[in-house]
Chain A
Amino acid sequence: EAGVTQFPSHSVIEKGQTVTLRCDPISGHDNLYWYRRVMGKEIKFLLHFVKESKQDESGMPNNRFLAERTGGTYSTLKVQPAELEDSGVYFCASSQDVRQETQYFGPGTRLLVL
């Protein structure tokens, strides 16, 4: 069974540009989560999808971040325009059932905004 995959693995962009991160969850997992680790600090929750619906987006930092999950399969996280403080590692995770204890994480996308 393939795990959670994320693309790209690394992205280097200039301030003001747009970047789109993609996450493919484990097949059949309805729950998809985005997290990020900024500046070596703790990993923080961004939002949670159940299928194509946003269940909880309380962690989204501001309106420069837009997450979508059309069709309830893969998800994208777009940052527009990117700022220096957006640099960090963005993780995606999925779980089959919301009550499932374990969330399976992807390898992360390392974003550097110059």
Chain B
Amino acid sequence: GNSVTQMEGPVTLSEEAFLTINCTYTATGYPSLFWYVQYPGEGLQLLLKATKADDKGSNKGFEATYRKETTSFHLEKGSVQVSDSAVYFCALRMKTSYDKVIFGPGTSLSVIP
């Protein structure tokens, strides 16, 4: 079935460090891909998305590129801030089903000053 795998956390970085959170997916067909973020005490928020191969999603300094050849959607940010501390979820949604979002297990990020 369709699934999402992401790197195990927790990840701890110093402020201004470079961030990469790896995400790969398995899908029968061509999904839309998402990164969601959950800040402490808050709900899930859509961070960015990409709907087709080679699309790049970006928001708040974060970027991810839809790589069909490697079935990946890695999240990157050039310089993290303390306020980026959160749990990050990679996810996919099949265009043919239009219903459920399939999530990865989440990666907890802590940024220290």
Binding site for B on A (CB under 8 A): 3-4, 6, 33, 35, 37, 40-45, 48, 55-56, 59, 91, 93, 98-99, 101-108
Contacts and interface: CB of A to CB of B under 8 A. Distances in A.
Interface of B: 4, 32, 36, 41-46, 49, 51, 89, 93, 98-106
A107 B104 contact: no
Given A101-B32, A105-B36, A43 B100 contact: no
Contact of A42 (B43, B45, B99, B106): B106
Contacts of A42: 4, 89, 103-106
A21 to B, nearest CB: 14
A97 B22 CA distance: 30
Given A91-B44, A105-B44, A107-B43, A56 B51 contact: no
14 contacts: A33-B99, A33-B101, A37-B106, A41-B105, A42-B104, A43-B106, A48-B99, A48-B100, A93-B44, A93-B101, A101-B49, A105-B36, A106-B43, A108-B44
